[in-house]
Amino acid sequence: MPKNVKELSVTQAAALCGLGRTTINYWIRTGKLHAKRKGRNYKIPVDELLFYLTTAGHKIPSEFEDNLLQGPFFKTLRPCWEYWKDNTHGQNCKDCLVLKNEIDVCFTARESGGLRCPKECNKCRYYLESYYPRIQFIHQIDAPAMIFKDLYFWGSNEKWNLLCQMAQNHIPGIGVEHAIHPESLEPLISVVKRTNLGDSKTPQSITIHLKNNSKQPVNISIFSLNNPSGSFLVITEE
């Protein structure tokens, strides 16, 4: 199998796994394995197949040995309205601005007031299955840390929440301006641009905007992340 293959047919996946087509189709039909419908057939993202095989304890085909070096594997990110389409929750989507505007990362629209999701984002099954696994490593960092993309929070650890006086259930999707003082937004944006151009330099300090309108200078380091692509990890020195 060519190394650059990103998707497999049901027949190809069955042959590689040494299983029958009915087994692969059963995984797809029951939602265990996500696949994209192309006409009357399915296309299975390789990463999605590896994610399912790994988490379900199935043997990984030898053809994927090179892929194993690139792990861990995550479920394919797909729009929330596609995720919920076969669920009663999906009835809320037709009136939601996320679907109307085809916003890829739904929780970044939460401050608009136009979401139709009854649950808080950090308790939402879609967020917990699709996004949280990509950022949960942050809770292993023994310093205040947060992850953001496009200037929206994706997650943070408890030490960051304590430092910035933020509640965990308010984190996913809020703008970084809720924690970063306005005087530090320009240097933060500047370092993001430089990091995207391959410059590893980071600002020595920024100012945290606390809930009581006071501010606190802190030293930070910023790192670009491969997954989620285009996101950044901020670690604060205590």
| 174-202 residue pLDDT tens | 999 888 888 888 888 888 888 777 776 66
pTM of the model: 0.80
Q: Is residue 59 part of a domain?
A: yes
On whether both 148 and 179 belong to a single domain, the answer is yes
Q: Which residue did the predictor score with more confidence, 211 or 117?
A: 117
Q: Which residue did the predictor score with more confidence, 90 or 14?
A: 14
Report the alpha-carbon angle 142-143-149, nearest 5: 115
Question: The domain containing residue 171 runs over which residues?
Answer: 134-236
On whether both 171 and 204 belong to a single domain, the answer is yes
On whether both 46 and 103 belong to a single domain, the answer is no
Q: Do 145 and 235 form a contact (C-beta atoms < 8 A)?
A: yes
Q: Give the pLDDT score at 72.
A: 75
pLDDT at position 74 over 60: yes
Q: Is residue 124 part of a domain?
A: no
pLDDT at position 233 over 70: yes
Q: Is residue 204 part of a domain?
A: yes
Q: Give the pLDDT score at 221.
A: 86
On whether both 84 and 64 belong to a single domain, the answer is no
For the ranges 51-60, 149-158, 170-179, 208-217, the lowest mean pLDDT is seen at: 208-217
pLDDT at position 26 over 60: yes
Tokens 């023994």 locate to 142
Q: Is residue 125 part of a domain?
A: no
Mean pLDDT over residues 146-167, rounded?
A: 92
Closest CA to 123 of 75, 164, 171: 171
On whether both 159 and 86 belong to a single domain, the answer is no
Q: Which residue did the predictor score with more confidence, 222 or 3?
A: 222
| 221 contacts: CB under 8 Å, gap ≥ 6 | 202, 234, 235, 237
Q: Is residue 73 part of a domain?
A: no
Q: Which residue did the predictor score with more confidence, 5 or 20?
A: 20
Spatial strand order of the sheet with 7-9 comes to 7-9, 41-45, 36-38
What amino acid is encoded at 51 in this protein? F
Which residue, of 60, 95, 119, is where some domain finishes? Answer: 119
Which three-class secondary structure string do you get for 155-197?
Answer: EECHHHHHHHCCCHHHCCCCEHHHCECHHHHHHHHHHHHHHHC
Tell me the pLDDT of the chain averaged across its residues: 86
